[in-house]
Amino acid sequence: MVKLNSSYIARLITLSIVYFERIWRLPLRYFRIKGSRIILRDSNNNFLVKLNKNTILGRKDELLHISNDKVLLFNILNYGVYEKPTIDFFREFTNSKKGIWTFVDIGANCGLITLGVCRCNESVTKIIAVEPIFQNRIPLVKNLANVTQVSSVLAFGLDMERGFREILIPTDQFGSATLNKLGVGTGAFSRQTIRLETPGFMYQEWMHGEERFLLKIDIEGMDVEILNHFPSDLFKRVDALSFEVDQRSLMFPAELMKLFDLLGEAGLTLNSNYGDSNPEEISSANLIDELSQRASYNSNVFFSRRD
């Protein structure tokens, strides 16, 4: 017989209550389960999570703000962190190097990765978070109020042309909104018109000068295209980079190789793909071949400067 510990049972009960409340829209606003986390739902239909112990995301006496996104909520309730390999990559880089950086998070969502990278990290003195979705920016701003770095939250998305566009936002998963022309809405979703700016605008207005950058980008299938359209000079000042490769990106392997070559020319080294416990240098071609064999999930790719 399998024995279930009290912590596991508490998390299971918590998740059951949360999903029951969300399905039936019961007027629950506050509940506590011993050994787990406190869940509240605020007036904007977002969740507030009070951690039961100190983590890199926050102290146990703080409220962590999360949009009504089932993926984020599930990860925080179960693991207390979101995309840990990405957070570990940036923190290990700053711990192993001497320097001062600005952390740029394009597709910041609620800011959970930004919190993980920047909290209690004296090597990061400034934060630039780009997030076009209104439902995500509300908790993003609140979360960044709890870090010591100077923070700027930019309310636009990145695309090849400036303007405004109506996009699809899957219900209960705001982080999966897509600008990609290949993206197709399935299931329940809402529509929202967002502001769009170009990579050139982002560079000229927010990333010029002599600053050194840590750059994380995750914009649902547009990562490779957007990175390829930044001025090449930018990557000479990027010392660590994380971006997502999904099946849409792999439909255009020439664009992916173009990006790998661009980053290599700027002095950045390909480290590993998402989730490697012992990152080591691998060839671009081998990585593309490996990623192409994954049909069901996305992978983050990490580059860093070794000198």
Chain centre to alpha carbon of residue 160: 21
Predicted pLDDT of residue 273: 54
Give the C-alpha separation, 301 to 272, whole Å.
6
Predicted pLDDT of residue 104: 98
Give the C-alpha separation, 41 to 102, whole Å.
32
Predicted pLDDT of residue 54: 77
Q: How do the residues of the chain divide into helix, strand and coil, expressed in percent and rounded to 5? A: 35, 25, 40
Q: Which parts of the chain have pLDDT scores under 70?
A: 1-45, 52, 77, 171-187, 272-284, 292-297
208-211 CB contacts, 8 Å cutoff, 24+ apart: 210/237, 211/101, 211/102, 211/126, 211/237
> Are the C-beta atoms of residues 140 and 131 closer than 8 Å to each other?
yes
| Residue 226 identity (one-letter amino acid) | I
Predicted pLDDT of residue 62: 79
> Are the C-beta atoms of residues 154 and 172 closer than 8 Å to each other?
no
> Are the C-beta atoms of residues 251 and 278 closer than 8 Å to each other?
no
Tokens found for residue 246 = 């999904």
Predicted pLDDT of residue 32: 40
CATH 3.90.1530.10 matches 84-305: no
Model confidence over 41-64: pLDDT tens digits?
666 667 777 776 777 887 777 778
Residue 269 is inside which H or E element, if any? strand 268-273
Which sign, positive or negative, has the C-alpha torsion 18, 48, 246, 195?
positive
Predicted pLDDT of residue 24: 40
Helix, strand, or coil (residue 37) = coil
**What is the radius of gyration, based on Cα positions, of the chain?**
19
- Closest Cα to residue 272, out of 88, 80, 98, 124? 88
> Are the C-beta atoms of residues 288 and 250 closer than 8 Å to each other?
yes
Give the C-alpha separation, 42 to 51, whole Å.
17
Model confidence over 193-221: pLDDT tens digits?
999 999 999 999 999 889 999 999 998 77
Give the C-alpha separation, 281 to 302, whole Å.
10
Predicted pLDDT of residue 10: 61
Strand-by-strand arrangement of the 124-130 sheet: 150-154, 124-130, 101-106, 213-217, 238-245, 299-305, 268-273
Domain residue limits, the chain: 6-79, 84-305
Give the C-alpha separation, 306 to 131, whole Å.
30
> Are the C-beta atoms of residues 241 and 304 closer than 8 Å to each other?
yes
Predicted pLDDT of residue 183: 46
Predicted pLDDT of residue 60: 76
- Exposure string of 46-59, with b = 16+ CB inside 10 Å and e = fewer, is bbbbbbbeebbbbe
> Are the C-beta atoms of residues 181 and 68 closer than 8 Å to each other?
no
Predicted pLDDT of residue 111: 94
Only one residue has tokens 């979101």, namely 82
> Are the C-beta atoms of residues 229 and 117 closer than 8 Å to each other?
no
From its phi and psi, is residue 34 left (phi > 0), alpha (psi between -120 and 50) or beta?
beta
